[in-house]
């Protein structure tokens, strides 16, 4: 099984754009990373930026998939990988135009290997060996056996700062990228099912099919969270908050697709307000929820838009 699960269709950030432009942001809630392809650069600068609140944007470090270089901008065509865990939106802004016709597209994944420490260039780092002993003087790499303290000089401060930085990077990487594969459980044990055993419920959340040995043959027990009955509806969203999907305790999956020319905003279990909550972009923007994605919500969902007239939101609910 692949270590990456493709969760989105191709998203267009910039479509044959010839000047500086913010482009169309991509909703990345629930995604670990987004692969980005840049074409048509001729002296332009593409700046990768992310946001949580939808209004303030900050630069995002990406990995150049050709040479492994890490940076927040692209000045040539290529493939890039942007970590997006914890963000709400990602955009690829043309911050500097130069007459080229630029197209930028992307595709998101739920699980991704992401960046490793090998991608991080710590400039100026030098190997240093400190034996058990006295203070470390400026310019030395070993000390005499006397004391366990470190002198407060330029060398000591640089070394302490360097290792603190590495520690913080490790913490951030651990928080950003989910562990891949199935963790081995200390209390795991084999289970034998008799040939006259009644149905056994198996909780296979986010694990897919579960192999079970039955009469010396391996069979697959389907994921207990997989839905069997989809219901498709189209709901009119107005400029006032309104329910787009009723509360359903049996809900296992939901997909909301914006089939209009206007951004729609939804809130879970609360009145919808324009420019708040979850943003679903116009012309096919969507929001997907399930136990596997870790964002399943079974309560009522409300929607609103800030345009005029009715806007259609397509709903698919699985139970």
Are 289 and 254 in contact by the 8 Å Cβ rule? The answer is yes
pLDDT at 290 over 80: yes
Query: pLDDT of 172-194, one tens digit each?
Result: 666 555 444 455 555 555 555 56
pLDDT in the model for residue 148: 43
What mean pLDDT do residues 247-253 have?
96
For residue 197, give both structure tokens.
């055993």
Q: Which residues contact 22 (CB under 8 A, 6 or more apart)?
A: 91, 93
What mean pLDDT do residues 201-206 have?
50
Query: Closest Cα to residue 278, out of 308, 250, 245?
Result: 245
pLDDT in the model for residue 57: 97
Question: CA-CA distance, 254 to 242, in Å (whole number)?
Answer: 18
> Worst-scoring range by mean pLDDT, 100-109, 129-138, 267-276?
129-138
Mapping DSSP onto H, E and C, the string for 235-248 reads EEECCCCEEEECCC
Which residue in this structure is represented by tokens 């135009």? 97
CATH topology (fold) of 230-318: Jelly Rolls (2.60.120)
Enclosing H/E stretch for 175: helix 154-176
pLDDT at 133 over 50: yes
Q: Which residues contact 94 (CB under 8 A, 6 or more apart)?
A: 14, 17, 19, 20, 21, 23, 44, 45, 46, 47, 102
Question: CA-CA distance, 77 to 122, in Å (whole number)?
Answer: 26
What mean pLDDT do residues 82-93 have?
95
> Worst-scoring range by mean pLDDT, 63-72, 78-87, 145-154, 310-319?
145-154
**DSSP designation for 186:** T
Query: Closest Cα to residue 85, out of 298, 295, 316?
Result: 295
pTM above threshold 0.85: no
CA dihedral 133, 134, 140, 141 (to 10 degrees): 20
* Apex 298 CA angle, 251 and 232, nearest 5: 45
Q: What is the largest CA-CA distance in the chain?
A: 81
pLDDT in the model for residue 226: 83
pLDDT in the model for residue 227: 87
Task: Name the average pLDDT for the chain.
Answer: 80
pLDDT in the model for residue 38: 97
Distance of CA 188 to the CA centre of its chain: 30
pLDDT at 292 over 80: yes
CATH 2.60.40 fits 11-116, yes or no: no
**Phi, psi torsion values for 172, nearest 5 degrees:** -65, -45
């Amino acid at each position: 099984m692949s270590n990456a699960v493709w969760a989105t269709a191709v998203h267009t950030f910039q479509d044959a754009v010839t000047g500086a432009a913010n482009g169309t942001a991509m909703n990345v809630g629930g995604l670990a990373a987004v692969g980005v392809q840049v074409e048509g650069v001729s002296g332009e600068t593409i700046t990768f930026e992310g946001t949580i609140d939808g209004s303030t944007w900050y630069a995002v470090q990406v990995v150049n998939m050709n040479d492994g270089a890490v940076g927040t901008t692209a000045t040539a065509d290529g493939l890039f990988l942007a970590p997006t865990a914890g963000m709400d939106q990602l955009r690829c802004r043309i911050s500097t135009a130069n007459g080229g016709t630029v197209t930028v597209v992307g595709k998101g994944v739920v699980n991704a290997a992401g960046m490793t420490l090998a991608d991080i260039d710590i400039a100026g780092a030098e190997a240093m060996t400190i034996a058990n002993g006295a203070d470390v003087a400026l310019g030395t790499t070993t000390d005499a056996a006397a004391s366990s303290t470190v002198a407060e000089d330029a060398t000591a401060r640089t070394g302490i700062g360097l290792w603190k930085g590495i520690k913080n990077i490790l913490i951030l990487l651990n928080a950003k990228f989910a562990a891949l594969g199935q963790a081995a459980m200390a209390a795991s044990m084999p289970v034998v099912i008799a040939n006259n055993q009644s149905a056994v419920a198996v909780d296979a959340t986010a694990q897919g099919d579960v192999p079970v040995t039955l009469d010396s043959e391996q069979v697959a027990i389907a994921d207990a969270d997989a839905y069997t009955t989809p219901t498709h509806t189209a709901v009119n969203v107005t400029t006032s908050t309104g329910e787009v999907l009723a509360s359903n305790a049996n809900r296992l999956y939901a997909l909301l697709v914006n089939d209009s020319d206007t951004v729609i905003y939804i809130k879970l279990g609360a009145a919808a307000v324009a420019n708040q909550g979850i943003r679903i972009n116009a012309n096919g923007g969507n929001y997907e929820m399930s136990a596997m994605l870790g964002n399943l919500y079974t309560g009522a969902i409300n929607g609103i838009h800030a345009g005029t007239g009715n806007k259609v939101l397509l709903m698919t609910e699985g139970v």
